[in-house]
Amino acid sequence: MISRRKFGQVFAAGAAAASLAACSTGGGGPAPAAPAGDDLRAGSGKNTSLGPVRQVKAGLLNVGYAEWGPATGKPVILLHGWPYDPHSYVDVGPLLAAAGYRVIAPYLRGYGPTTFLSKDTFRNGQQAAVALDVIALMDALHLDKVVLGGYDWGVRTADVLSALWPERVKAMVAVSGYGINDLKANKEPLPPAAEYGWWYQYYFATDRGELGYAKYRHDFNKLIWKNVSPKWSFDDATYERMAESFTNPDHVAIVVHNYRWRQSLAPGEPQYDGYEQKLAAGPTIGVPTITIGSDFDGATADGKAYRAKFTGKYEHRTFTGIGHNVPQEAPQPFAKAILDVDRF
């Protein structure tokens, strides 16, 4: 999920809201503040099916992905987080398809129908490995340059792609802003309230936690949904559609390695060292970007904490009353951000 320093502020008060009507294309400043209304959730839950899930061999994986829109449309890749899957974009995809885009939402490694081509491949959840999966997917689908959108693991992946391979990214929508992991900073202790918010990280660091997640992942992840999106009244059917992805045979290994690697409790792989060294420097991102803050981000929802990391054309929007799964909770304003950033 997002950085440890942000997670401890989940229940803090958000900054000024920006309604869908206020989310207009513009310059580099923040969107005008306006009272948040029900329009932020308009269209949420309208669709329930991703349609036929496609498969393509890409890099180390056989990637499952949802697709909407014409094959000749401008390509958009939408990246999900933990514990979610491409159903986060079940309403966003059709909106963008109706605007003429080719929309692709892959299942990340360890989720749903995405599987490793070899049983001998290390089940690695580190940020560079996941980002290279997306590069491999783009190559397999013959996509030279795409618009990216993401939240949670997805925003981290989009940020890594934009920082290391900016020539492959036309523009980006980044929920919670800058998610690139800083392993050195992650070793520093936080105030108790912030550490409390990161409880599951310490659970995953133990053998008991790994066994517990394997045994109770269905209820575990539903609890995470409720904690990080307390105002989202999702029903059981909505959760169950995504919970299928957590039965992937590599899911537990990928999730546990991701969080252990982030705390320097598990090693990465040497072939990614060069990329991780570049990411450790905290690179800035020059591609056109719209960042989105929500209630989940607490005191950082206004985007000021990471504004300096984005050096290209930029805008920030704040969605008050929306939790962590922004594209599914607020599909229309998220889709509008994709449309707007593509015009930057």
Condensed to tens digits (0 to 9), the pLDDT of residues 162-197 reads: 999 999 999 999 999 999 999 999 999 989 988 998
Long-range contacts formed by 269-272: CB under 8 A, 24+ apart: 269/122, 269/124, 269/126, 269/129, 272/124, 272/126, 272/128, 272/129, 272/132
In this predicted model, which residue has the larger pLDDT, 254 or 22? 254
Nearest to 222 by CA among 83, 48, 325, 87: 83
3 state DSSP class of 211: helix
Distances (CA, A) of 321 to 38, 89, 301: 9, 19, 11
How high is the pLDDT of residue 197? 87
Residue type, 244: E
Residue 280 has pLDDT above 70, yes or no: yes
d(CA 46, CA 44): 6
What's residue 10's pLDDT? Answer: 36
pLDDT of residue 210: 98
pLDDT tens per residue, range 84-98: 999 999 999 999 999
Nearest 5°: the CA angle 232, 237, 240 is 100
Distance CA 123, CA 120 (A): 9
Tell me the one-letter amino acid at 132.
L
Among residues 152, 154, 93, which one has the least CA distance to residue 332?
93
d(CA 88, CA 331): 9
User: What's the pLDDT at 40?
Assistant: 96
Tell me which of 3 and 260 has the higher pLDDT: 260
Averaged confidence pLDDT in the chain:
90
So what's the pLDDT on residue 122?
98
Peptide bond into 267 cis (omega under 30): no
- Sorting pLDDT into bands at 50, 70 and 90, what band is 38? low
Which structure tokens are listed for 158? 């989009």
pLDDT digits (tens, 9 = 90+) for 219-263: 999 999 999 999 999 999 999 999 999 999 999 999 999 999 999
Encoded tokens for 3 = 């950085």
In this structure, the dihedral spanned by the alpha carbons of residues 75, 133, 218 and 198, taken in order and rounded to 10 degrees, is -100
Q: What is the DSSP letter of 89?
A: G
Determine the pLDDT at residue 116.
98
The pairing of beta strand 169-175 with beta strand 314-319: unpaired
Mean pLDDT of 277-282: 97
- In the beta sheet, which residues pair with residue 147? 76, 171
Q: Is the pLDDT of residue 107 over 90?
A: yes
